[in-house]
């Protein structure tokens, strides 16, 4: 493959909302609550233009002392939620894992001087399997998860993304899975103003592809309503990985609602070109 064709084939990265718990299996209970999110997730394969070799999913629901990559050939399921209907503890997303790519991830992180480990036991959490049920419902693309690192340092997670960037030329899709607003104690109408303030800031910040974008994300706590939107930032930090892996590339908002759950402004983003975009 030539350098020019490799660049043309480079996959984008994503920061997506993964929604609440096992929502794809609760349509009878939730109606159209997630219809817009589901449509946006289902459109991702069209944006990518081909089936990737694997998906590397960085979920808000896994933190570890070192960046830890899931290395099982067939991960099980981790029902990391409570209070949902009994049938949601029996759902399965049966995509294969990707042990060889896990080894590649570990090597990239070690080469970048980042702490790296592997885990052959941990199953898929809902930050992975709920959105993947909408993105690839046939579960026919290998998926491996990569943890956040405890401490949730935004600069370190941007560095993680930079270290992972070569995977984009190796047909691995990098997805940060979280939420642009995550305050479970402030949903509904009371969240309308702070979620909009933070969402507006996020959109304006991500619109720039220059170096100040990354610095603004490091300093995200200075954003309007930052700590109302994210009392704890684990659902925001996967964004840093997606941005770090596509630094200098433009963002496109692929999903937005301004009245989600009765008042929330929420968004998801792609970084880098979609299939068919002009160079």
For residue range 57-101, list pLDDT tens digits in order: 999 999 999 999 999 999 999 999 999 999 999 999 999 999 999
Extract long-range pairs of 187-193: CB within 8 Å, 24+ residues apart.
187/261, 187/262, 187/263, 187/264, 188/261, 188/262, 188/263, 189/262, 189/263, 190/263, 191/228, 191/263, 191/264, 192/259, 192/263, 192/264, 192/265, 193/225
Q: How far is CA 125 from the centre of its chain?
A: 13
Q: How large is the average pLDDT for residues 249-255?
A: 96
| Confidence (pLDDT) at 2 | 35
| Confidence (pLDDT) at 276 | 76
41 close to 131: Cβ distance less than 8 angstroms: yes
In the chain, the percentage of residues whose pLDDT exceeds 90 is 87
| Confidence (pLDDT) at 278 | 57
- Over 60: is that where the pLDDT of 279 sits? no
* pTM for the whole structure: 0.95
85 close to 26: Cβ distance less than 8 angstroms: yes
- Over 50: is that where the pLDDT of 40 sits? yes
What are the structural domains, with CATH classification, of the chain?
3-271 (3.40.830.10)
- Over 50: is that where the pLDDT of 3 sits? no
Please write the tens of the pLDDT for every residue from 162-204.
999 999 999 999 999 999 999 877 787 889 999 999 999 999 9
């Amino acid at each position: 493959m030539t350098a020019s064709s490799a660049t043309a084939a480079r996959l984008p990265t994503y920061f997506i909302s993964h929604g609440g718990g096992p929502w794809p299996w609760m349509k009878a209970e939730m109606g159209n609550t997630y219809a817009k999110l589901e449509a946006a997730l289902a459109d991702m394969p069209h944006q990518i233009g081909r089936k990737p070799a694997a998906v590397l999913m960085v979920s808000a629901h896994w933190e570890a002392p070192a960046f830890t990559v899931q290395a099982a050939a067939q991960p099980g399921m981790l029902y990391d939620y409570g209070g949902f209907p009994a049938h949601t503890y029996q759902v399965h997303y049966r995509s294969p894992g990707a042990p060889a790519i896990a080894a590649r991830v570990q090597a990239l992180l070690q080469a970048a001087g980042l702490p790296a480990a592997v885990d052959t036991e941990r199953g898929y959490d809902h930050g992975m399997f709920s959105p993947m049920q909408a993105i690839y419902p046939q579960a026919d693309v290998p998926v491996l998860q990569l943890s956040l690192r405890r401490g949730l340092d935004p600069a370190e997670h941007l560095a993680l993304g930079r270290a992972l960037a070569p995977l984009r030329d190796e047909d691995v899709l990098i997805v940060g899975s979280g939420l642009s607003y995550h305050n479970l104690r402030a949903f509904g109408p009371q969240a309308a103003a702070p979620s909009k303030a933070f969402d507006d800031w996020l959109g304006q910040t991500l619109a720039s592809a220059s170096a100040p974008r990354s610095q603004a994300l490091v300093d995200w706590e200075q954003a309007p309503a930052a700590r109302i939107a994210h009392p704890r930032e684990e659902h925001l930090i996967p964004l840093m990985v997606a941005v770090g892996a596509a630094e200098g590339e433009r963002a496109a908002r692929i999903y937005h609602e301004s009245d989600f759950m009765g008042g929330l402004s929420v968004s998801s983003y792609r970084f880098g070109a979609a299939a068919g975009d002009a160079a």
